[in-house]
Structure 1
């Protein structure tokens, strides 16, 4: 997906200049320009800040990847929608994967299959969105910060919190961390 082109189209559709969007999102005008030209890829946290500033959820932003049509009940592993922003170099692209099951716009629940390589995180900024989220760690370890609490969770451990609280995910372990998570309503 061409993230820069999609962001530019939505920004212009909303009648915002790059400067206005940068101010709303807490980023620099130069950063917006580089993202729109696909010369840099935003972290998950930066993309979330940008989308919050233009009032578009991650699910809506990436919805063009989903095929509209009849109800669908079953999905093969290759039919999930990758909603984590791709990175420019190959090594970075392998650090984080957030794969969404089905179309979050058609349901009251957003289900994700998440994978964090060692050292991967959702970005330096904290995330916040209007929802509740929960997850179970399938393998590896993940450090989760919610508000002012930090906890490292491993296989079989879980979390449940109000997503309006600032939060962040970071793999501090030595192996990939895999999580199955849910968000309701879909707002990530």
Structure 2
């Protein structure tokens, strides 16, 4: 698997500097210490899910680009681009079928792009498309893993839809606390404060789709 976290820090630093924002300014806004943010940028620490979304939102960068910066759906050997041959008669709306090939992503289990975060949280990208406001991934929460170590709620743009493959995860959405287990599914507005926590003894695995997740500017 391909892990963008290996150069996530330098990439975030480059984005921050391009935005002409100082390390202290970003740290103050995100309510983290400058030293912690510096450690993330230097690859010495891994952000939590909450911190990753906060940085993404503040810098105006879709979380999806954190995968895409090192995982190209058309050119990378980690992804196979399916060739499409037109199967329709001429002069039909579907004559544009050949254009679809550039928007198809086939990813094998061995070649997924992966984000590994603190406390045992892993996101594995299931498809790489040009849609920057969509995340389609398998999420894994190891026993005891959560959105962040402090139990703070996460807020970001978009809607989330998930299906549990294995294990169980506790999901807090606003004032509601729900337990999502195998073969159950869920959908919710991500602008409602929320967090995930695996309180069980087995890893939780789920298929997750986040739509409209481009940070507000």
Q: Fold conserved (TM > 0.5)?
A: yes
- Map 1:1-150 onto structure 2 (within 5 A): 1-69=6-74, 70-85=102-117, 95-106=120-131, 109-123=134-148, 124-150=151-177
Distance 1:73 1:62, change over 3 A: closer
1:108 Cα deviation from its structure 2 partner: 5.9
Distance 1:108 1:17, change over 3 A: closer
Distance 1:109 1:15, change over 3 A: closer
Q: Contact conserved, 1:44 with 1:84, CA < 8 A, in 2? A: no
Runs (5+) with no aligned partner, structure 2: 1-5, 75-101
Of 173, 177, 180, the match for 2:200: 173
Cα deviation code 1:40-76 (max 9, x no counterpart): 2211211221221111121122321211533334321
Q: Contact conserved, 1:140 with 1:176, CA < 8 A, in 2? A: yes
SS of the residue corresponding to residue 129 of structure 1 reads coil
Give the number of equivalent residue pairs. 181
Distance 1:100 1:156, change over 3 A: same
SS of the residue corresponding to residue 186 of structure 2 reads strand
Moved more, 150-159 or 161-170: 150-159
1:115 Cα deviation from its structure 2 partner: 1.1
CA distance in 1, matches of 2:105, 2:54: 32
Runs (5+) with no aligned partner, structure 1: none
Please, what is the CA RMSD of the aligned residues? 2.0
SS of the residue corresponding to residue 183 of structure 2 reads coil
CA distance in 2, matches of 1:108, 1:9: 21
TM-score using structure 2 length: 0.76
Q: Contact conserved, 2:169 with 2:198, CA < 8 A, in 1? A: yes
Cα deviation code 1:84-109 (max 9, x no counterpart): 43x5xxxx5xx221111222543764
Q: Contact conserved, 1:81 with 1:102, CA < 8 A, in 2? A: no
SS of the residue corresponding to residue 150 of structure 1 reads strand
